[in-house]
Structure 1
Amino acid sequence: MTTPSPKPLTSKSQPQRVVDSLQARILAGELKPGDRIPTEPLLMQEFSVSRTVVREAMSSLQASGFVKTRHGIGTFVLERPVNGGLLSSPPPELHVKQTLAMLELRISLESEAANLAALRRTETHLAVMRDALQSYRTNWQAGKSTVEDDYRFHAEIAAATDNQYFLEVLGNLGNTTLRSHSHEGTGTAKSHAAAVQFGEVLPILSDGKEIAQREHEAIFDAIARQDAASAKASMFMHLSNSRERLRRKIEAA
């Protein structure tokens, strides 16, 4: 007997779809502190929802501290607070051992996120992931930074879990490490092996971008076809490989 493929959960409300998408954009740095959120008509058109749905989504984002509405002007992204926790406020520079330890944390967290994302993703989630991968490839081939694209891809997987805590934890990591902190293409392997920004894409790993892109595509393909086991395994392999690539580069430096 053939087991039917799992279908996306239908329990996610329309406001939550809007919240998840905007939250992922904010955490990925597409919408930065001070930026104006798209207007109600634009959001209504993008998500095919009513004005009531958009307003409910904005209320939810305000309640969680992501945005603030200025009546008669618009809704704007707020600076994310630093609460002094381990993930939200790491020291500005972490040594290699700590960087490797944080990759271990991501392996555990994001492998499970990929598993859930495969079961719960929507076509909207897939569209954002696909766009992030295309942007990653375009920027990588042009010799530009891929940090934002990389983070947006991973953030959208977290959003697709339909579990706000995956997105919040990844967002706390990204707020401090992946937004506007990349030094790709600068510095020496030795100096960056000694001290690096937490989560920063290292110049000594720049030759691994093509491999990383293939690993990203394997994750995306598994999520798209709703193969939870393969999505989890692909994410585990991607982050484990990233850790080992970093370890080998550092040892050879």
Structure 2
Amino acid sequence: MKASPSNLFEQPRRSRSLAHEVVLDIGEKIRSGVYQPGSKLPTEVEIMRHYGVSRTVVREAISRLQAAGIAQTRHGVGTFIVGNRESIGFKVDPDALVMIRELMAVLEMRASLETEAAGLAAMRRSEQDLEAMRQTLDQFWASIEQGGDTVELDVQFHKQIAMASANHYFSDVLDHLGNMVMPRARVGSGKLIRDTSAEYLRKICGEHETIYSAILRKDSRMARAAMHLHLGNSRERLRNAHNLAGSHDDDPMLP
């Protein structure tokens, strides 16, 4: 006998936000491949019965999925998954929103700081700088395939670019920030859970390769553009995390 759509759900954990719990459980189904892009979610009534929540809670949860670009409702037809596993790279605890605002502020600062550092690195890098960056990237790729930790290698690559700028103030600032320089390092604290899928990490390392390639060619304009895009993508992932946790439209740090 074919299982009904509602049977695909597992019993969720209880927390202060029922809508948040529904979002997390549906998100986990997408991450694990139970729901594929284009698949239809159970009806509002089925979700209500399974989770034991009101229609208001269900609609709020669906609204959050829509805001994150993961689901789309077609009136008279139903709600469908339109995002993929990478669309939900973070699972967020509501108590972590302060941390997210902090990280967003750091990323705004980094966008100006590291973009310029990358441009200067393209003009001033030495062969030793290039060798160090290449070694870090190779280790990053190897760690992805082996399922190892890539956070330190991520931080290291950014610091190597700062050092290659031949302006010690860039590297001094990154050293001062410590793990705050890397959202993936901070979100491993237990309040935010980072997506460690190989596909996600390959995307990050691919962005690093684009930056490195521009520095190798001494193309300062492209190096700046590649770094700016890379940090912009990081900020977008945090925006998606915020949308999954709930809307705070009055917060200027989280547009």
Which bracket does the TM-score occupy, shorter chain normalised? 0.5 to 0.7
Corresponding residue for 1:156?
A: 160
The aligned length equals 148
Q: Alpha-carbon deviation of 1:177? A: 6.4
The reply on whether 1:144 has 2:148 as its aligned counterpart is: yes
Regions of 4+ moved over 3 Å: 175-178, 181-184, 204-207
In structure 1, the residue matched to 2:235 is 243
**Structure 2 vs 1, CA of residues 175 and 213 (structure 1 numbering), >3 Å: closer, same or farther?**
closer
Judge conservation of contact 1:155–1:167 (CA < 8 Å) in 2. yes
Counterpart CA distance in 2 for 1:136 and 1:119 is 25
- Distance verdict in 2 for CA 1:183–1:171, change over 3 Å: same
Shift of 1:114: 0.1
Q: Normalising by the residue count of structure 1, what TM-score does the alignment of the two structures yield?
A: 0.53
Q: Deviations over 1:96-138 (max 9, x none)?
A: 1111111111111000000000000011000000011111111
- The CA RMSD measured in Å over matched residues stands at 2.7
Structure 2: tracts of 5 or more residues without a match = 1-96, 246-255
Amino acid at match of 2:99: H
2 CA distance for matches of 1:205 and 1:107? Answer: 24
* Per-residue CA distance 1:213-252 (angstroms, 9 max, x = gap): 1100000000000000000000000000111012113312
Q: 1:182: how far off? A: 6.4
The gaps in structure 1 that reach 5 residues or longer are 1-92, 193-201
Contact map agreement 1:205 1:245 (CA 8 A) in 2:
no
Identity percentage over the alignment? 42
Cα contact 1:145–1:182 (8 A) shared by 2: no
| C-alpha distance in structure 1 between counterparts of 2:205 and 2:148, whole Å | 14
Pairing 1:99–2:109 present: no
Q: Does the CA contact (< 8 Å) of 2:106 and 2:180 recur in 1?
A: no
Residue pair 2:100, 2:238 contacting (<8 A) in 1 also: no
TM-score between both structures, scaled by the size of structure 2: 0.53
Q: Which structure would you say has the larger Rg?
A: 2
